[in-house]
């Protein structure tokens, strides 16, 4: 099949929640809170990207991810660019991206050790619909009270710089070495190609679009895939039906139908899909 519905993997986190998001079953009150839901591609399927939902009740650690070169030197297949689409946020919710002023390695290390790093970050207020593409090397932290979709390069590689006194391992030497501790500059976004096809980001590692009601055929190069992430509504990819809270991966060629109530994220590597008609 050119399109497959991906399996979900729920991940308990101390900073997670018991009240998730429409399309996801809430955990029992006596169970651990759920912080993440991952969509897993089967063995042998292109796996360059990973799609997650995040549900936060506390601030996540201040962290950084290496780029491809630094990750490979550390024995990993790739680095980690990531992007977030905010679905829901409490009125005072924030996401930190970059620092307010440039910091050198020693300043960053000192700030991480004494906790002042929390106050040197650029904490941006967020609301539903906000979108950010965070390149590898960006010092960042996701705040409390947020539900979001994360699209990332598929690697489990995070260097924690600061964790608010929680008893978890930090990775100061590795993290400081790969950090670009400077003000965040969003990527320039080219014009969208159609009214129902909004280009959110054209990053160096993947592209993310948002499609509304439409019927399209997408064709991908051999060995590449696209990930369809429904934000709301329903639709189909070939014979696979999808709805919000699911994720479909596509290889080869597939006919995609986004229903009248549909809002669909489309993520893929490379600069363009081979063909969209």
- Positions annotated as catalytic residues are 160
Query: How far is CA 85 from its chain centroid?
Result: 7
Helix (H, G, I), strand (E, B) or coil at 72: helix
Assess contact for 215 and 161: CB atoms under 8 A.
no
Check: CB of residue 267 under 8 Å from CB of residue 249: no
Tracing tokens 């099949």 back to the chain, one arrives at 1
Under 8 Å CB-to-CB from 220, ≥6 apart: which residues?
226, 250, 251, 252, 253, 268, 273, 274
Q: Do residues 84 and 148 make contact, with C-beta atoms less than 8 angstroms apart?
A: yes
**Rounded distance between C-alpha atoms, residue 56 and residue 65, angstroms:** 20
């Amino acid at each position: 099949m050119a399109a497959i519905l991906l399996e979900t993997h729920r991940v308990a986190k101390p900073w997670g929640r018991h009240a998730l998001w429409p399309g996801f079953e809430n955990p029992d009150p006596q169970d651990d809170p759920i912080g993440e839901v991952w969509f897993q591609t089967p063995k042998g399927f292109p796996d360059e990207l990973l799609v997650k939902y995040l549900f936060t009740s506390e601030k996540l650690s201040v962290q950084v991810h290496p780029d491809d070169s630094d990750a490979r030197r550390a024995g990993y297949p790739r680095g980690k660019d990531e992007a977030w689409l905010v679905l829901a946020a409490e009125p005072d919710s924030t996401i930190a991206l970059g620092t307010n002023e440039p910091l050198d390695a020693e300043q960053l290390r000192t700030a991480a050790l004494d906790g002042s790093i929390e106050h040197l970050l650029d904490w941006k207020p967020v609301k539903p619909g906000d979108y950010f593409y965070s390149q590898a090397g960006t010092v960042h932290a996701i705040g409390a009270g947020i539900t979001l979709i994360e699209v990332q390069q598929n690697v489990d590689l995070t260097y924690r710089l600061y964790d608010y006194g929680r008893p978890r391992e930090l990775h100061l030497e590795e993290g400081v070495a790969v950090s670009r501790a400077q003000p965040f500059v969003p990527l320039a976004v080219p014009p969208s190609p159609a009214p129902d096809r909004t280009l959110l980001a054209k990053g160096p590692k993947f592209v993310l679009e948002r499609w509304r009601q439409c019927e399209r055929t997408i064709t991908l190069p051999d060995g590449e895939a696209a990930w369809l992430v429904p934000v709301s509504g329903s639709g189909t990819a070939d014979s696979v039906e999808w709805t919000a809270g699911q994720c479909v991966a596509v290889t080869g060629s597939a006919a995609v139908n986004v229903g009248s109530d549909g809002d669909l994220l489309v993520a893929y590597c490379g600069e363009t899909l081979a063909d969209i008609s």
